[in-house]
Amino acid sequence: MLDRKITPTIEEAVHFDLQLKNCDRFTLDNKVPVYAMNAGAQDVVMVEWVFDAGNWYDKQPMVAATTNFLIKNGTTTKTAYQINDFFEFHGAYLNRSCYNETASLTLHCLSKHLETLLPVVREIIETSIFPEQELAIYIQNQKQRLSVNLQKCDFIGNRLIDEYLFGINHPYGTYSNAEDYDALNIDVIKAFYKQYYLNGCCKIFVAGKMPTGYEAMLNKAFGTLPLQAVPHAVVEHPVVTASQKKVEIINDENGVQGAIRMARPFPNRHHPDFQKAHVLNTLFGGFFGSRLMSNIREDKGYTYGIHSYFQNHVHASAWMISTEAGRDVCAATIAEVIKEMAILRNEPVDQQELDLVRNYMIGSLLGDLDGPFQLIGRWKSYVLNGLDENYFYKSIETIKSVTPQELQSLANTYLQPDDFYELVVI
């Protein structure tokens, strides 16, 4: 029996022996791969169909996002209302999401209803019709939402910093305009759907307490569709960075707050510096106890929060610093960011501070492994980025072993202010 008079032993997270649970793998009759995490105590299931159908494959702006949004808004036998009512009746939720490289359909449901719901998801993938009136409503709603968002300095900042880093014609740098929505038409959307969904490259990720025979259920519903296991030919999109590094934009003459974005191009996960730089970023601005937060929020009081992070795209990436601050202290905020960069370049990190960061990062990893949905999410990230479980164990080893000297060297390589774009939108 637990003796509550004895203080429990406190063990630092860095000493934990973290293990990544393996996922099951099998293929359907059409060779589509399935990655499964059959675990969990609750009778719930998540199934995600991931297609190579993101913005990377757009032949005109907003087609990928529009196709993904409308794919569940009507089939040859069901209206959008009937589809939503069917899933709601079974206590399930079918969501869709579009990203830069991929687009997905995600089903959350009770385990006992999986066999009933899968045929309707198949119907959506196989027989979506994209009604004209649904497209008209979508265009109207998106243009109204865009009009409202264009009044917000943080929205403008997020759009423009990506354009400066990659170019307006690059999938990572493009953004929507009202004219793009007006140019959409059903024929283009149906062609995109046929190529990238019905006949597209697909991977399936499932997690939760799976019902008996779930493999056969998936194969029956999707193993005969003309889905592909082989990725599409890589589409090349040249990066065209902006020539001007420092920009200030007045979006609201009466605005009292400015959006600050500082960013530089950065290698993707496959680069040998990435994992060590992840430790440096956490120390710099990646958690609540970071140097940027301690200085600019806690000491100076310029902002409620400031963060630095990597844009983890598949083909290219960026190191981003993001915050909103009072109009009168935007310049001072940028100056403090640059000062913190200089300190990291010139002074080795104190061992006590580095140990704090190590424990935070290992503790965060532990939280990311809590439950089947989180586990399959990590596996999905590895699969889509061409990585494996060795990346997980190497990241843990890097967190535990990276030295202050290595971090200082990385800071001298990557935290050079002249390499960063500076954007202020007021």
What's the Cα-to-Cα distance from 378 to each of 9, 311, 364, 399, rounded to whole Å?
A: 30, 16, 13, 18
pTM of the model: 0.92
Mean pLDDT throughout 96-104? 96
Distance CA 92, CA 121 (A): 12
345-370 pLDDT tens trace: 999 999 999 999 999 999 999 888 88
- Residue corresponding to tokens 């719930």: 44
pLDDT at 1 over 70: no
Write out pLDDT tens, residues 115-166.
999 999 999 999 999 999 999 999 999 999 999 999 999 999 999 999 999 9
Provide the pLDDT for residue 265.
95
Cα-based distances in Å from 73 to 76, 119, 126: 11, 16, 13
Q: What span, in angstroms and rounded, lies between the C-alpha atoms of 210 and 372? A: 11
pLDDT at 404: 97
Residue 35 contacts residue 376 (beta carbons within 8 Å): yes
Average pLDDT, the chain: 95
Nearest to 200 by CA among 83, 103, 106: 103
Domain ranges of the chain: 24-222, 246-425
Instruction: Write out the E strands in 137-254.
Output: 202-208, 246-249
The H-assigned helical ranges of 204-317 are 214-222, 274-281, 291-292
CB burial of 253-286 (b: ≥16 within 10 Å; e: otherwise) equals eeeebbbbbbbbbbebbeeeebbbbbbbbbbbbb
- CATH (one of 3.20.20.70, 3.40.50.11900, 3.30.830.10, 3.30.530.20) for 246-425: 3.30.830.10
Residue among 31, 52, 48 at smallest CA distance from 231: 52
**pLDDT category, 230, cuts 50, 70, 90?**
confident
- The string of pLDDT tens digits covering residues 368-426 is 888 999 999 999 999 999 999 999 999 999 999 999 999 999 999 999 999 999 999 99
3-57 confidence digits (pLDDT tens): 888 887 777 777 777 889 999 999 999 999 999 999 988 999 999 999 999 999 9
Q: What is the pLDDT of residues 325-338, one digit of tens each?
A: 999 999 999 999 99
Classify domain 24-222 by CATH architecture: 2-Layer Sandwich (3.30)
Do 24-222 and 246-425 fold alike per CATH?
yes
Q: What is the rounded CA–CA span in Å between residue 234 and residue 139?
A: 30
> Which ranges of 223-273 would DSSP assign to H, the alpha helix?
none
Q: Is the model's pLDDT at 273 over the cut of 90?
A: yes
Mean pLDDT of all residues in 239-267: 93
Q: Are 160 and 426 in contact (CB under 8 A)?
A: no
